Structure 1
Amino acid sequence: MQKTSYPGLAPPIARGYGSIGCRLLVFLGLLVLLALGLVLGVGQGAVPIAPGEVVRALLGLSENPIITELRLPRALAALLVGAVLGISGAAFQGLFRNPLADPYLMGSAAGAAFGVTLAVSVMGGLSSAFAQHAVFAHLPASATLFGFLGAVGAVLLTLLLSGGASRTGDLILAGVVVGSVLVSLTSYLMLQDADRVRAVFAYTLGNLAFVGWNGVGSLALYLLFAFPLLLLLGRTLNALYLGEETARSLGLPLGWLKLLIIGLVTLLIAAAVAQAGIIGFVGLVAPHILRRLLGGDYHYLLPASALGGAVLLLLADLLARTLVAPAELPVGILTTLLGGPFFLYLLWRGRRRA
C-alpha cells in the first residue's frame, strides 16, 4: 500500500502519548482549564466579581443579575463556539488529510458574512440593540438566519463547482474561489450602503458581546445534534486521514460519508458564524496541539478538540475584554493575532521536515 506523508506530522494514529493514563491526564487538564476559564470569564468585567461568588452563582446558591443575564451567556457562547470550531477543524483536517485545514475552508465564513450583510442592507432596519452597539454588534434575528443560510449556500456551491465530495483537491480550490467571490460581493454591499452596514464590519471580525440566551440555546442544540454523529464517524475519519486507499480497503462508502461529514461541519460552522461572526485559527490550533498530545485517533481527538477549542476561546475572550479595558477588542482580531504566528510556525516546521 502506498504510504502517505504528512508535512510536520508523524502518521496520525501512531503519534501522541497514547496510554490511557496520559489521555485521562490530558482530558482532566482540559476540564480544569475549562472550569477556570469559565469562572474567570464570568468574574472579570467593569464590576469585578470574586471567584467564590461566581461559583456560588453557577451552582445556584446565590443570585446575581450581572452573572446570569450578562456574563454567563457570553461565557457559555465562547465555550460553545470554541467547541464547534475545535470539532469542525479536527473533522476537516481528517477529511482533507491536512493538519493545516481550517473549518472555514469551504467558504462558510464568507457565505455567512455575505448573508448577514445582505439581510441588513436589503431587508433594512437594525434592531435597537444593534443600533445602540454599532461597534460590537448584536444582529437581529433575520440577519443571523441569513448568515446561517449564506454559510450553507456557500458550501453547497463549493460542492457543486468541485463535482462532489470525492474530489478533495477540487473542493479546496472551489472553496477558495467561492470565498473570494463572496468577500468581494460583501465589500460591494458595504460600499453601496456604508452607513447602514458599517456595523457588519464588527461582526465579520468576530464578537461574543451580545450573544444572548437564545443564541446559546441554538448553539447547544446544533452541537448536541452534530457532535454524537461525528463521534460515530471517528473510524471513517481515522481511515481517511491514513489515505483514501486505506478507507476503501475497509469497504467504506466514501462518497456518502464525506458528504455527511461536510454537512455536519457546515451546520455547526453556520450556526457559530451566524451568532458570533468569523473567529479564526481556533479550529486550526486546538486540534493540532491535541493531536500531538493524544495521537490521531478521532474517537479521542474530537472530544478533546471540543474541550480545547472551548478553553482557547474562553481565554481569548477574557483577554479581549481586559487588554484594552474599559474598551474591548473583537475576539476574532485577538485569535488571528495569536494564531497567525502559530500557523506560520507550522508551515516553517513542515517545510524543514519535508
Structure 2
Amino acid sequence: MPRFGVVMVLGAAVLVALILLSVLYGSADIPLATVFTAIQGGLGFGETAPAPMERIVFELRLPRALFSAVIGAGLGIVGALLQTTTRNDLADPFLFGLSSGAAAGAVFVITVTGDVLGFWTLPLAAFTGGIIASLIVLALVRSLQSDAPEKLILAGLAVSFLFAALTNYLIFAGDNRAAHSIVFWMLGGLGLARWDSLPLILAGLGLILGLSLYRRRWLDALLAGDTTAHSLGVPIARFRMGLFLACALATAAFVSVAGVIGFVGLMVPHLARGLVGPLHGPLIPASAMIGAILLTASDLIARLVLAPQEIPVGIVTTSVGAVFVFVLLFGAQRRER
C-alpha cells in the first residue's frame, strides 16, 4: 500500500478511537454499551438509554467530538493553503486578522448587546467580525495594488492589531462579570457544539476541501514560484485572493462556534508534509486527517486534565504548538550547519 494510503488508514483508525474515547470519558464516565444504546435511541433506532445518559451522549459529547474533528480538519487545510500561497512556513489561519475580528464580534455581543438572537447571537457576531476583518485585509492589499505575499501578511497583521485593540477596549469598558466567558471563548472551546450549527462548519470544511482538491495542480505550481506558476497558466493574483477569501469564510465559520484555537493550522501542514510530501493531492487529505486527530485529542485532554473542571482547548493546542515551534527552529538550525 502506498505511503499516503497507510497514513490515511491509520489516521482514520486513530480518529475513530479518539471520537469514541471523547464520548466515553469526561466528568462522568459512561459504559460503552450505554453509549451505543444512547446513540441508537437518539437516531430513533432500537431501545433508548435513560434520558440523562442519552442527553449526555447524543446531545453533548457526540456533537462535540464531531465538531472537534471537522474544525481540526478545516484548520489543517486552511493552514496548508495559506502556507503555500504566502510562501511562509509560519502562516496559519489566525495570522490575517481572522481571529481578532471574530473575537471582537463575540466580545461585543458578550459585553454590549447580550443574546438578542438567542443561541445564534454569538456565532453570528463572531462570523461577521471575521468576515469584516478579512474584507479590510483584502481592501488594503487591493489599495496597495500588489499581490505580493508579504503585503498580504503585513495587512493581516495590521488588521489583527486593530481588532485586538478594539477587543481589549470592549473588555475593559464592559461588564467585569463577563470576563470569564470572554477569556474562555478567546482561548477556544467546543462547549457551543450543537447539532443545529453542524451544517455551518461542514459548509466551511466542504468549501476549502473542494476548492483545494479542484485546484491542486495550481497549488503545486505555486510551490515553484510565481513566475513558473504564471508560465503554466495560473492567474496568480486572482487565485491568491480567491484562496484567501475562501480561507477567511471557512475560518470565520470555525471560529464562530469554537472560539480562537491557535497553532493547529501552523503545525498540521508541517506534519503532513513530513508524511506524504509537498504535493497537494495527498497533502490536503493528510492535513485534514492530522488536524482532526490533533484537535480531537486536545479537546479530550482539555476535558480530562482537571476533571470535572474543563480548561479551554486553546491552552492545550498552544502548549503543544510552542514545543513544536521550538523543535522546528532547532531543526532548521541543525540543517544550516
> Could you tell me the TM-score, scaled by structure 2's length?
0.90
Q: 1:280 aligns with which of 257, 262, 276?
A: 262
Instruction: Quote the residue 1:17 is aligned against.
Output: none
Give the equivalent residue in structure 1 for 2:323.
341
2:60 aligns to what?
A: 70
1:223 Cα deviation (Å)? 1.9
CA distance in structure 2 between the partners assigned to 1:300 and 1:94 by the alignment: 14
Counterpart of 1:250? 232
Distance 1:52 1:140 in 2: 32
Pair 1:153-2:135 in alignment:
no
Deviation at 1:122, TM superposition (A): 3.2
Deviation, structure 1 residue 296: 0.7
Question: How big is the shift at 1:121?
Answer: 2.9
Q: Whole-Å Cα distance in 2 between the matches of residues 47 and 85 of structure 1?
A: 29
In the alignment of these two chains, the number of paired residues is 324
Q: Which residue of 2 aligns with 1:267?
A: 249
Q: Which moved more, 1:168-177 or 1:158-167?
A: 158-167
* Structure 1 residue aligned with 2:284: 302
Partners in 2 of 1:224 and 1:164 — Cα distance? 31
Q: Deviations over 1:135-178 (max 9, x none)?
A: xxxx8422211211111111121122233671210111111111
Deviation per CA, 1:197-217: give whole Å up to 9, x if none: 422221001010232111222
Whether 2:164 is the aligned partner of 1:183: answer: yes
Q: Deviations over 1:298-342 (max 9, x none)?
A: 111111111111111111000111111111110011110111110
Larger relative contact order, structure 1 or 2 (CA cutoff 8 Å, min sep 6): 1
Task: State the match for 1:88 in structure 2.
Answer: 78
- Contact 1:39 / 1:55 at 8 angstroms: preserved in 2? no
Q: Which amino acid aligns with 1:81?
A: I
Q: 2:106 aligns with which of 116, 120, 142?
A: 116
Cα distance between partner residues in 2 of 1:122 and 1:165? 38
Q: Distance in 2 between matches of 1:164 and 1:238?
A: 25
Q: CA-to-partner distance for each residue in 1:63-118, whole Å, 9 max, x for gaps?
A: 44121111111111111110111110111111112222111111100010011112
**1:63 & 1:203 partners in 2: Cα distance?**
34
Task: Tell me the secondary structure at the aligned position of residue 242 of structure 1.
Answer: coil
Please give the secondary structure, in 2, of the residue aligned with 1:292.
Answer: helix
Structure 1 residues 173 and 202: CA distance shift in structure 2, 3 A = same
SS in 2 for 1:100: coil
Question: Is the partner of 1:336 in helix, strand or coil?
Answer: helix
1:192 paired to 2:173: yes
Moved over 4 A (4+): 55-62
How far, CA to CA, are the matches of 1:80 and 1:320 in structure 2? 17
Correspondence for 1:171? 152
Q: Which amino acid aligns with 1:223?
A: L
Confirm or deny: 8 A CA contact 1:117 1:197 kept in the other structure. Answer: no
Deviates more, 1:44-53 or 1:338-347: 44-53
Cα 1:164–1:227, aligned 2, differ >3 Å: closer, same or farther? Answer: farther
3-state DSSP class of the match of 1:256?
helix
Residue of structure 2 equivalent to 1:205 = 187
Q: Which runs of 5+ in 2 are unaligned?
A: none
Query: Which protein is richer in helix relative to its size?
Result: 2
In structure 1, list runs of 5 or more residues that go unmatched: 1-19, 128-138
Amino acid at match of 2:294: L
Q: Deviations over 1:204-243 (max 9, x none)?
A: 0101023211122221122223321221121121111221
